Amino acid sequence: MKILMLTPYLPYPLYSGGQIRSYNLLKNLSKKHQITLFSFIRSDKEIEYLKNLRPFCREVRVFRRRQPWDPRNLLLALFTPYPFLVSIYLSRSFRRAITEELASGNYDLIHAETFYIMPNLPQTKIPTLLVEQTIEYLVYQQFVRDFKFWPVKPLLYFDVLKINLWEKYFWRRASRLAAMSDSDRQMMNQSVKDKKVDVVANGVDSDYFSRVKPRAGKIVLFIGNFKWLPNRDAAQFLAKAIWPKIIVRFPRARLLIVGRNPTKEILQLVQAGIKIEGNVADIRTAFARASVLLAPIRNGRGTKYKVLEAMASGLPVVTTKLGIEGIDAKDSVLVAESAEALAGQAIRVLENRQLSRRLAAKAKKIVYRQYNWGNISNRLNLVYQQLGGA
């Protein structure tokens, strides 16, 4: 099939969950389809990475995205129906290029990652698959609830309302939808009962992580890209509410917080026993230094890469129900919700080597069977075939 894929980021380098997902899907699906990729970039420096994507694409074209605090974005968000998230990606050149490509390309299918690039898509009879990596309005709603500066809150809540309305509008406009988890699928189906919503979860390069050998000490690990609001919340919840309970039992334990783009609030978590590391060249080295992954995710939907990668690495995982959303983890992961219960589960792993080994072995087996990128790509390919009719 001939497919036009639209992404709000360049799928390389593999810094964010979205980049990891899109890159691995391109890599696998290019064996069966001709894919043209249109992506937004944040700076011209990203052009050097096109060479990493061209082997999998018929053509790759990139378009400069405005910086978030560009005055035009603020004006659009304040004085038009568009929310701030959508205004960043409104682009005449992107829309014009899509229109011209569809007119001349004889495409079977359009694959759009995230609803907020959909306003650039012209009216077309070509089937469109909209993939929602998370339900955005829920993420921003939680952010606004926690926002401390009250004078701005009404404006932010109004923006969340606009995100909600536009997100659901584009769910209705797409030919078919894909979600990361069954709970997201159910929520989307409540809003668009006449649309088919497939679950195409995130995956992991199981071979890449198979050689990791986690250590048997008392090192608790948290991993996340701190551009994503739920990761900031989880890291602060861990350091402030959970960690003090763990060190009562293990005073010499250490907490390692790893992730790109640490904010001022994250860097301020550093203290005796807590270390923050930003960019790590090879994330496997972090897994190899740890004894347990503790991922106390409290908001944000979709499948969490940090959990899948830890499972593939043979590192025991303690997380919340939201942390394993979209993962059929069975009894291979320890789950809790409160700070006290999460600390208790982490302590169980740290003091019981037999439990640690058992969890790691079960998790590794599940990931290899169900969540390698080959299997995930096959699921998406089936959706392509059904939607594109080829």
pLDDT along the chain (390 residues), means of 10: 98 91 96 98 97 98 94 91 95 97 94 97 96 91 83 91 97 97 92 94 91 87 91 95 98 96 95 92 92 92 82 96 89 97 98 96 94 95 88
Bridge partners for 360 per DSSP: none
Whole-angstrom distance, CA of residue 200 vs CA of residue 198: 6
Sign of CA dihedral 236, 241, 246, 247: positive
pLDDT at 330: 85
Do 175 and 338 meet the contact criterion of CB atoms below 8 Å apart?
A: no
Q: What is the CA radius of gyration of the chain?
A: 21
- Segment (H or E) for 109: strand 109-113
- According to DSSP, residue 242 is labeled I
pLDDT at 228: 84
* 242: CB partners within 8 A, 6+ apart: 294, 296, 339, 342, 343, 346
Do 10 and 38 meet the contact criterion of CB atoms below 8 Å apart?
A: no
* 388: CB partners within 8 A, 6+ apart: 1, 3, 108, 109, 127
pLDDT at 210: 87
Do 180 and 304 meet the contact criterion of CB atoms below 8 Å apart?
A: no
pLDDT at 301: 63
- pTM (2 decimals)? 0.88
- Segment (H or E) for 7: strand 2-7
Do 106 and 2 meet the contact criterion of CB atoms below 8 Å apart?
A: yes
CA distances from 45 to 42, 49, 50, 294, 322 (A): 8, 8, 10, 35, 35
- Segment (H or E) for 231: helix 229-237
Pairing of strands 317-319, 128-132: unpaired
Query: Domains, the chain, ranges and CATH?
Result: 2-203+373-388 (3.40.50.2000), 206-370 (3.40.50.2000)
pLDDT at 303: 56
Whole-angstrom distance, CA of residue 7 vs CA of residue 18: 9
SS3 content of the chain, % helix, strand, coil (to 5): 50, 15, 35
* 232: CB partners within 8 A, 6+ apart: 226, 263, 265, 266
Sign of CA dihedral 363, 364, 367, 373: positive
